[in-house]
Chain A
Amino acid sequence: MTSIGTGYDLSNSVFSPDGRNFQVEYAVKAVENGGTAIGIRCKDGVVLALEKLVTSKLLKKDANKRIATVDRNAGVVHSGLLPDGRHFVSRARDEASSWRGTYKAPIPGSALANRMGAYVQAYTLYNSVRPFGITAIIGGYDAETELSVDGAVGNGPKVGAGGKTQGVKEGGPFLYMVEPSGLYWGYYGAATGKGRQAAKAELEKLKLDPKEGNCISLEEGVKEAARIIYVAHEDSKDKEFELEMTWISSMSGPTKGRHEEVPKALREEAERLAKKSMEGEEEEEEKMEG
């Protein structure tokens, strides 16, 4: 931040002489202060998890959900400025419903990420606006089975061609992360917020590349996600937090292709395991010291 005070950081639409948009870089700082958010793209689904820092004891537990559903098959988790995130989600919902309006089908993950990337990018161009103070993780599942056109009736033929090609693999889980600059990539595992470094280190240890085989399952993913949030929370141990988790599977999986909250029982089990593994590590550390 050597150029602070030179005036090039005051407006969005002005580059610094070395080609930087400082407003965007400051927006990234806003993200870096937010609770850790992660997404894991597993073999048969996607998990989104959030370290929701408790800002007041007066807030109701388990209320004020932060991971949002955008369409049946997609969800968004973000860290950074909360209201910016809400606006992002609202736009994502509009995009999803406008796609449905036109094409009578759910929006593919790639198209949603593309449109949201473009939208966020537009907020880096004009001096009348400021960039988004969030990094958002978009997760979901593009249906592998044939999807009928919304509203259509009739079945077509029972055998042969006619919307039932055997053995064609399409769709599957998707995970994208959109940054304040509008930059977005598809990921196997994504992390943002305060504990992102620790979270990324943990994510990299997981088997997530389907090409290498042995990719972790959705249920394993849920447990890993809980554990990683606990690991990422280590550095801000003094603050209380709630773990929020959603997941989405294929039509044949536990969520039947819908983005849903992880059931309470499963979440509590994942949290129990996460706490246990944390205690285990501490013991080991103590032993090493001893």
Chain B
Amino acid sequence: MQQTGMLGEDGIHIDMNHLKSGEVNLGTSIMAINFKDGVILGADSRTTTGAYIANRVTDKLTQVHDTIWCCRSGSAADTQAVADIVQYHLGMYGVTNDEPPTTQTAAALFQELCYENKDSLSAGIIIAGWDHRHGGQVYAIPLGGSLHKQAYSIGGSGSTYIYGYCDANWREGMSEQEGIAFVKGALQEAIKWDGSSGGVIRMVVLTAKGAVRHLYLPDRNYEGPGTDKP
């Protein structure tokens, strides 16, 4: 019955279940917040297969439209596939309707994919975007494929360690500087306590001015280089 996990006689048998369980996982710390002028997405950069760090400088912040991005957690393959599909749809939406899609549109597309394929996906996604009509918005789609609008959202294995930190330090209507400090403080704690999170802190700030990337390195005590070149 359970032969599927074994190597076949031919020696080159590929077992789908085996691939799935040994998969590259984004044991992760991700988050996104609303602030006064838009949203900030943040993530660590560790990707693991079991205890081995497969990539220590991963970019888990993925663009699906100009100022609509997402943070991915769960299976790297699954979340990349989903993000690619949504990126395609939002691109098509933009050209066929003569106006850029809203964050809602992106959230709805992500949700449908995650919900309808819940049996085969392991994906926990946070969508954050800025659009002309609504300003910044943050949505979370946890494992089952439900959709939750939130003031700020945290996700991934590392997030369990920072529920208290975030709840205690969260304020509505923060400035950009305050927002960055909040995200950085939270992710530093997550990296500190979660073995599956680590490496650098990446951020993306989304406002009327567009998308700006930030980078904070552990060997510089997560103080820089920010938006500069290292």
Residues of A in contact with B (beta carbons under 8 Å apart): 102-105, 108, 110-111, 146-165, 168, 170
Could you list 6 further interchain pairs (A-B, Cβ under 8 angstroms) beyond the known A105-B105, A161-B34? A108-B97, A151-B147, A153-B148, A162-B134, A163-B136, A164-B135
- Taking a contact as CB atoms under 8 Å apart, the answer to whether A160 and B133 are in contact is no
Main secondary structure of the interface of A (DSSP, over half): loop
How many Å from the CB of B152 to the closest CB on chain A? 8
Q: Is B118 an interface residue (CB 8 A)?
A: no
Q: Determine the chain A residues whose CB is within 8 A of the CB of B108 once the complex forms.
A: 102-105, 149-150
Min C-beta distance of A190 to chain B, whole Å: 22
A149-B107, A149-B111 known; A154-B149 Cβ under 8 A: yes
Q: How far is the CA of A110 from the CA of B104 in the complex (A)?
A: 18
Complex partner residue of B135 from A148, A149, A161, CB under 8 angstroms: A161
- The stretch of B35-43, B50-58, B193-201 in contact with A is B35-43
Interface residues of B in 98-113 (CB under 8 A from A): 103-105, 107-109, 111-112
A103 to B147, CA, bound (A): 13
In the assembled complex, which residues on chain A have CB atoms less than 8 Å from the CB atom of B97?
A: 108, 110-111
B126 at the interface (CB under 8 A from A): no
A159: which of B38, B39, B130, B172 is its contact (CB, 8 Å)?
Answer: B172
Check B139 against A161 for contact (C-beta < 8 Å): no
Q: Are A157 and B147 in contact (CB under 8 A)?
A: no
Is B132 located at the chain interface by the 8 A CB criterion?
yes
B76 at the A interface (CB under 8 A): no
Within 8 A of A (CB), among B145-161: 146-152
Across the interface, which residues of A come within 8 angstroms of B172, CB to CB? 157-160
B137 interface hit (Cβ, 8 Å): yes
- Nearest Cβ distance between residue A67 and chain B, in whole angstroms? 27
